[in-house]
Copies of this chain bind each other. A is one copy, B any other.
Amino acid sequence: MAKNEKKMVDAITSMDEDFAQWYTDIVKKAELIAYTSVKGCMVIRPYGYAIWENIQRILDGMFKETGHVNVNMPMFIPESLLQKEKDHVEGFAPEVAWVTMGGENKLEERLCVRPTSETLFCDHYKDIVHSYRDLPKLYNQWVSVVRWEKTTRPFLRSREFLWQEGHTIHATAQEAIDETERMLNVYAQFCEDALAIPVVKGRKTESDKFAGAVATYAIEALMHDGKALQAGTSHYFGDGFAKAFDIQFADKDNTLKYPHQTSWGMTTRLIGAIIMTHGDNNGLVLPPAVAPIQVVIVPAAMHKEGVLDKAHEIADALTAAGLRVKLDDSENSPGWKFAEYEMKGVPVRVEIGPRDIAANQCVIVTRHNGEKTAVSLDDLAASVQAKLQEVHDGMYAAALENRKNRTFSCTTIDEIRQTLEEKGDGFIEAMWCGDEACEDEVKAQTGAGSRCIPFEQKQLSDKCVCCGKPAKCMVLWGKAY
């Protein structure tokens, strides 16, 4: 191992030693973020933002394919507007940032910086929804929102974060419920197909619903350390917001009705999910679909005749095939380069040197498992594309395997506690009576809260894991980020 290489790798704390420090090391050393003078806020650096741009591009395409269009709402919400829906304001008011001055002047009414935009969309719907012909409206926006969190962590919890928020309004409850489920499925498909992260789809318990929602659905992922992370949520609002904002439409039968609404969101937190699902002690491991660089080409004996020419030829061919490629022809040593792009999680490395060229081949190294394969230079783009698919599948399989190994069924609180102690954190499947007191008790005694009521139910027993009374459903429990 070259000296530089050693130094670089040493700079990351081992994930087994201190997972939280390992995470912080990665976000800094892979140059995803930088801290700022603005407490609880971060700079998303070019490499981190390029991951977000890829996430945006793919998700936005999926939204448009399902009939949604983008809009842009103001970032400010007047206090009186925020207060129109009772549950909603109770949920959000304690954690918003308030603008009270414009220039030198005190505002007549203070404005909060949007923590989410239901109230703004409702204010707009009231203007534009009058007839069944105006429905549905299938809207989305890509913006940042602010929640005045006390403790923050890059990507996972920050005072400002980037997200998309979908907002839709429909003539009937059924259409709105269908939309809520459709978008949850879009989210799950995105996590699996683009991020190689398996997720559990389910419904949140009453106590864990979004402020103002009738029902909240979520996808839950299990991180490498056995903690759960909510990767996306989709909310069904019924006609509660419509009533609070007095939005009515003339239906086909000429009667006035209240429309039904949904909202759904995913955030830059997904980048945290990628890090903690796939990362290892050498750094980041990026799923090919969202990696800013999919293939890095590292020439060996770079100054020998023909090597750089061949490396450029390969780079051009792979780029022409639609891949995101970087050829590193800097004067740094190959060892330094290996460590650098491992840290940055580039899925595939192509090594090419004089002996490879003589044999009309190159060596492909896959980041997630370190495997090396000699591959013919003939039709290399096709080989690399196949390899990237292999990488995606391998990463997904490993994440699924980790989740399987860390998912346990329990029938008593003692068993939950014992399992978490002996086997470490993970998902716990256990039955529940539906009583909030039991939900709280499980969390108090084990540290594992209810993550969701999975759509795919199992009948583990007929008794609540807490009180022993008849169980209504199986809940997925876990310690959460």
Contacts and interface: CB of A to CB of B under 8 A. Distances in A.
A43 B81 CA distance: 15
A120 interface: yes
Given A103-B96, A104-B94, A73 B43 contact: yes
A146 B75 contact: yes
Contact of A34 (B110, B124, B143): B124
A111 interface: yes
Given A77-B38, A99-B113, A123-B37, A72 B43 contact: yes
A390 B162 CA distance: 41
Given A34-B127, A49-B70, A72-B44, A100 B100 contact: yes
A328 B310 CA distance: 53
Nearest to A142: B142
Given A70-B53, A103-B94, A120 B36 contact: yes
A364 B113 CA distance: 48
A232 B200 CA distance: 48
A434 interface: no
Given A37-B123, A111-B38, A43 B74 contact: yes
Contacts of A69: 46, 49-50
A404 interface: no
Interface string A133-159: 000000100011010100000000000
A71 B162 CA distance: 12
A80 to B, nearest CB: 8
A42 B144 CA distance: 17
Nearest to A147: B103
A225 interface: no
Contacts of A45: 71
A136 to B, nearest CB: 13
A34 B128 contact: yes
Contacts of A111: 38, 97
A139 B48 CA distance: 13
Contacts of A37: 78, 81, 123
A74 B104 contact: no
Nearest to A104: B94
B76 A38 contact: yes
A75 B148 contact: no
A322 interface: no
20 contacts: A34-B128, A36-B123, A37-B81, A37-B123, A38-B76, A38-B120, A43-B72, A43-B73, A46-B139, A49-B70, A72-B144, A75-B75, A75-B160, A94-B103, A94-B104, A96-B103, A100-B101, A101-B110, A102-B148, A113-B113
The 9 tightest CB contacts between A and B, nearest first, are: A41-B74, A46-B69, A98-B101, A102-B148, A44-B72, A38-B74, A100-B100, A97-B99, A103-B148
